[in-house]
Structure 1
């Protein structure tokens, strides 16, 4: 019986990462890719925290002094359109990181995890809320 190891963790240096043009076949390629992936994951965390900061800022603007809002929220407001654009970027980065993790290459999985931890450490130390329910990052 032949067992396929396509869905198991491995430590190979030969990997196709996201695109046919992003191929590594030696340690230099793996380490360089790890650096890029760490940066991608840290940027993802930074973007996520920046969006939360914008949300809290916009909420304060709409709540005003607590008695009457200073502005009414709108689907077509500049801040909401900007938040929507940032959300699209966050979705793409999140799926890229998920697909990189799903290569099951241990080195790339470590890079995603370390990048997320570094990004959280850099950007979430003054978190505006205590919401820890973000299961999918």
Structure 2
């Protein structure tokens, strides 16, 4: 396998087959959006976890009640979606088409810039590098 820049590709499924420049451009835009959505989901899950952890500290619920809570089921559902999207993005990158690889990088940067800016602005002095 080598990196290449062709415009004839099948991406993830047989139904996502491109063989022209307009298909390549729209696929690159779609990959950027998919990767940004992945970053948004990741940031949302982190903030949801932080909020629920704070609430759990203030409540005296048993561990079994937390295991079967609606929030935990929702977090589990979101985790599955995030893992599946992550594998899709990995498979897209593994086409070795450098346009798609660049799209994954751009989508990651755009998604982090849009959705994780609060995390980078927090003054967290409890952490060491």
TM-score normalized with structure 1 length: 0.83
> What residue is the counterpart of 1:56 in the other structure?
50
For 1:79-112, what per-residue CA distance to the aligned partner results, in whole angstroms no more than 9, with x for missing partners? Answer: 1000000001001100000000000000011111
Distance between the aligned counterparts of 2:103 and 2:34, measured in 1?
Answer: 10
Distance between the aligned counterparts of 1:75 and 1:52, measured in 2?
Answer: 18
Return the structure number with greater helix share. Answer: 2
Gaps of 5+ in 2: none
Q: Runs of 4 or more off by more than 6 Å in structure 1?
A: 128-131
Gaps of 5+ in 1: 1-6, 132-137
For 1:31-77, what per-residue CA distance to the aligned partner results, in whole angstroms no more than 9, with x for missing partners? Answer: 0000111000000000000000000000000111xxxx444452110
Query: What's the secondary structure of 1:126's corresponding residue?
Result: helix
Q: Of the two structures, which has the highest relative contact order with CA contacts closer than 8 Å and spacing of 6 or more?
A: 2
TM-score normalized with structure 2 length: 0.88
Aligned Cα root-mean-square deviation (Å) = 1.7
> What residue is the counterpart of 1:26 in the other structure?
20
Compared CA separation, residues 13 and 129, structure 1 to 2 (3 A): farther
